[in-house]
Amino acid sequence: MTREGGALDPAGGNKPLLTVSLVIYRPDLKVLAATLQSLSKALTLLGASRCKIFIIQNCDTDGIAPLLGANLNGIAFDLWQGHGNIGFGRAHNLVLHETGTFHLVLNPDIEMAEDALTHGLKFLEEHTDCGLITPHACWPDGTRQFLCKRYPALFDLLLRGFAPVFLKNLFSARLARYEMSEETGEDVFWDPPIVSGCFMLFRGEIYRQLGGFDKRFFLYFEDFDLALRAGKITRIAYVPAVRIVHEGGHAARKGLTHIKLFAKSALLFYKLHGFKLL
């Protein structure tokens, strides 16, 4: 495994105010560039010298390093590569002990509002009992995306991930309840049981206390597991002032390999946390 750095080390070697980890695997370079540009603007508003980004490259895609230099505008970063595809959670955990006072787990297909991180850190500073924030999210077409979830029944997972549209419409009220759509509007909502891993803004000490992600999950459900564990030691908050656009998801559309990974991780999740059918 090799590391490459860019820009100056923040805060003269002291713990950064905010660290960010992105795990990438065969990314769409245009989408990744948009993510880096929006992240750069948000970090600049916080004070770029107080922040650092870790890019963990789980693939051998060319052109990543020049892309980072071109889009991060002098913000300190480390590029970790050469370790192969070790999975989403394990890759994020590579930098666990280098995380700052606050730490953001971020997907490489997120565009955030310029003031998203400013609002997020302000909330964490004002609410010391909160250790994890989840944002207000939309799809690229502007429709809402609900990142908070109740504990998933197997029926909910199958319905949401694999059912045809007419069946989803038939069970729309059930899906809305599972996705907590009524609870997560324009007001802060406390203690959702589960939140998405596409954007998890942690208090650094909480993230380190949790040990990051459970490495037994290669892909899928590692965020469900981490959120459930986080809820046992801290409070989680949905903060609508923190706004993002998320392009990803849709495991069923990614082919048989992803469906198998989804099923394997679901079995592990239920083994660890308890099975729920309906």
- Average pLDDT score over residue span 146-152: 98
Could you tell me which residue, 273 or 1, shows the higher pLDDT?
273
State the Cα–Cα distance between residues 111 and 7, nearest whole angstrom: 22
Q: Does the pLDDT of residue 12 top 60, yes or no?
A: no
pLDDT of residue 11 exceeding 60, the answer is: no
**Residue 3 pLDDT:** 77
Residues with Cβ < 8 Å from 176, sequence gap 6 or more? 182
Sole residue written with tokens 């207000």: 136
Take residue 210 and report the two structure tokens written for it: 């949790």
What's the predicted TM-score (pTM) here?
Answer: 0.94
pLDDT at 74: 87
- In whole angstroms, what is the distance from residue 20 CA to residue 77 CA? 9
Q: What is the pLDDT of residues 163-205, one digit of tens each?
A: 999 999 999 999 999 999 999 999 999 999 999 999 999 999 9
CA 271, 277, 278 angle in degrees (round to 5)?
A: 145
Q: Which residue has the tokens 């002291």?
A: 14
Q: Which two tokens stand for residue 204?
A: 């650094």
- 213-270 pLDDT, tens per residue? 999 999 999 999 999 999 999 999 999 999 999 997 655 566 889 899 999 999 999 9
pLDDT value at position 7?
A: 52
Determine the pLDDT at residue 251.
53
In one-letter notation, the amino acid at residue 211 is G
Mean pLDDT along residues 82-97: 96
Q: Which domains does the chain have, with CATH numbers?
A: 2-273 (3.90.550.10)
pLDDT at 14: 79
**Dihedral sign (CA 125, 114, 141, 247):** negative
Q: What is the rounded CA–CA span in Å between residue 9 and residue 105?
A: 20
pLDDT at residue 5 in the model: 73
Q: What is the pLDDT of residue 215?
A: 96
Mean pLDDT of the chain: 94
Scored b (16 or more CB within 10 A) or e, 97-125 reads: eebbbbbbbbbbbbbbbebbbbbbbebbe
Identify the pLDDT of residue 255.
80
pLDDT at 29 over 50: yes
99-141 confidence digits (pLDDT tens):
999 999 999 999 999 999 999 999 999 999 999 999 999 999 9
Tokens 């609410």 belong to which residue? 127
